[in-house]
């Protein structure tokens, strides 16, 4: 970073640069935008970032990010507690919810298996899922991992782990683009994939 920049400016540029998808140029533009912006956006952003850690927890049941534990979805008596949709990330929960057709509950893995990146089963919430299935005896577990190599491997591993439980395991129907992410899938495609799920 140029040595003639004020330290708070260079520190914020460096912080923005550490975010995924933000390079040095974008980090600089964001920093100088916030510096010039006069409607209090910088202070609102600072408050929101402080509240992000202080005001969120991980749901004890599904591991989604929420304000309380259990989360609103797990605590909703109108949701089918015996229908569990397994997703990779909290953003995937939002994607499935946008489809408007799923009325069960979720289990968030917080990633997908990727040995080359050092992501093994013990780094994910897979053991919690197996225990949850053993204790709650759901009627169906829907594996809604992304249709990528890592997502497919994660689904296959979970399916193998669930075989002895006797639970009905299904996978989202094809129609989702291979290599795509659930969070970028349109509502119609995702709704059709949920409705057309099939046994593993």
The CATH number of the domain holding residue 180 is 3.40.1360.10
Is 61 among the domain residues? Answer: no
Range of the domain at 17: 7-54
**CATH classification of the domain holding 13:** 1.10.8.420
Q: 164 and 86, same structural domain? A: yes
Are 110 and 63 a contacting pair, CB within 8 Å? yes
66-101 pLDDT, tens digit per residue, is: 999 999 999 999 999 999 999 999 999 999 999 999
Q: Look at residues 190, 19, 181, 188 and name the one whose alpha carbon lies nearest to residue 89.
A: 181
**pTM of the full predicted structure?**
0.80
Residue 103 forms part of a structural domain:
yes
**Distances, alpha carbon 55 to alpha carbons 47, 51, 97, in Å:** 11, 5, 22
What are 106-145's pLDDT values in tens digits?
A: 999 999 999 999 999 999 999 999 999 999 999 999 999 9
CA dist 192 and 53 (Å) reads 35
Per-residue pLDDT at 182 exceeds 60: yes
Q: Residue 57 contacts by C-beta under 8 Å, 6 or more apart in sequence?
A: 65, 66, 67, 68, 69
């Amino acid at each position: 970073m140029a040595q003639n920049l004020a330290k708070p400016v260079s520190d914020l540029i460096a912080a923005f640069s550490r975010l995924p998808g933000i390079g040095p140029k974008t980090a600089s533009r964001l920093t100088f935008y916030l510096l010039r912006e006069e409607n209090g956006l910088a202070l609102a952003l600072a408050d929101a970032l402080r509240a992000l850690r202080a005001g969120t927890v991980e749901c004890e049941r599904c591991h989604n990010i929420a304000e309380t534990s259990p989360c609103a979805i797990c605590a909703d008596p109108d949701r089918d507690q015996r229908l569990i949709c397994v997703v990779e990330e909290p953003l995937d929960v939002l994607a499935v919810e946008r489809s408007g057709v799923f009325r069960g509950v979720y289990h968030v893995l917080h990633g997908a298996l990727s040995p080359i990146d050092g992501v093994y089963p013990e780094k994910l919430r897979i053991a919690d899922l197996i225990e949850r299935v053993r204790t709650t005896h759901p009627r169906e577990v829907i594996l809604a991992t992304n249709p990528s190599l890592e997502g497919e491997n994660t689904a296959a591993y979970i399916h193998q782990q669930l075989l002895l439980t006797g639970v009905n395991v299904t996978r989202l129907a094809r129609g989702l683009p291979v290599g795509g992410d659930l969070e970028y899938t349109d509502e119609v495609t995702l709704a059709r994939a949920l409705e057309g799920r099939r046994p593993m």
